[in-house]
A and B are shown apart, each in its own frame.
Chain A
Amino acid sequence: GAVVSQHPSRVICKSGTSVKIECRSLDFQATTMFWYRQFPKQSLMLMATSNEGSKATYEQGVEKDKFLINHASLTLSTLTVTSAHPEDSSFYICSVGQARNGYTFGSGTRLTVV
């Protein structure tokens, strides 16, 4: 499958600040990337589908203005959590899909908002 690099792995930020998470597809040109959120001991919940060169598609209930997604190139998608609050603390994971090889996930970003 694709090689996916996600950074940072951990970030702690103050309430009210913004945090950017990067997801890079290192060996595959990804027109589409996916962003998930996972709370402790829960499953992965899809937040949005990131589309290269166009607007992201958000799942129902996910605030577009709070979770800004930019997919400016075929190898990079970014998720910015704006005006973060403690309830945004979670594990954020990106993934890349390949038609034949399925989906590969990044190593995740643990966000803690204090």
Chain B
Amino acid sequence: QQQVKQSPQSLIVQKGGISIINCAYENTAFDYFPWYQQFPGKGPALLIAIRPDVSEKKEGRFTISFNKSAKQFSLHIMDSQPGDSATYFCAASKGGGSNYKLTFGKGTLLTVNP
């Protein structure tokens, strides 16, 4: 059972454009939703995370939009740059760390063309 569904599988965007990646979850007990960026041969790095008490969180060019009733959340990358080309994973967990394990989406390979 896939608890976090991520789409699209791959995405090509022109430099300066907006990249949008969507995720949907099933477990209503999830209360922590991070996005990770992963470059080839490296471990994932936390980009931004949100909890269900807010509908949107922005950090620089990265924004998470959260829809609790629809059980969906999305990552928007504004003014996309070639350096943003990487694989992006959404995830979810009960609690924000410590003893609670993350459930990952399948990932989105983002390519930003110059």
What is the interface of chain A, defined by CB distance below 8 A to chain B? 1, 4, 6, 31-32, 34, 41-46, 49, 91, 93, 95, 97-108, 110
Contacts and interface: CB of A to CB of B under 8 A. Distances in A.
Contacts of B98: 31-32, 97-99
Interface string B27-63: 0000010101000011111100100000000000000
Contacts of A31: 98-99
- How would you classify the secondary structure of chain B's contact residues: helix, strand, loop or mixed? loop
Contact of B96 (A43, A91, A99, A107): A99
Given A43-B106, A49-B101, A102 B43 contact: no
Contacts of B107: 42-43
Interface of B: 32, 34, 36, 41-46, 49, 89, 95-107, 109
B96 A100 contact: yes
Contact of B44 (A46, A99, A101, A105): A105
A101 B41 contact: no
Contacts of A101: 96-97
A79 to B, nearest CB: 14
A105 B43 contact: yes
Q: Sort A-B residue pairs by CB-CB distance and give the 9 closest, nearest first.
A: A97-B97, A105-B43, A98-B97, A108-B43, A43-B106, A43-B104, A107-B43, A97-B98, A99-B98
Contacts of B105: 43
B104 A102 contact: no
A106 B43 contact: yes
A4 B44 CA distance: 12
Nearest to A98: B97
Contacts of B34: 102-103
26 contacts: A1-B46, A32-B98, A32-B99, A34-B101, A43-B104, A43-B106, A44-B44, A44-B102, A46-B101, A46-B102, A49-B99, A49-B101, A91-B41, A95-B102, A97-B98, A98-B96, A99-B97, A99-B98, A100-B96, A101-B97, A104-B46, A105-B36, A105-B43, A107-B42, A108-B41, A110-B41
A108 B39 CA distance: 11
Contacts of A49: 99, 101
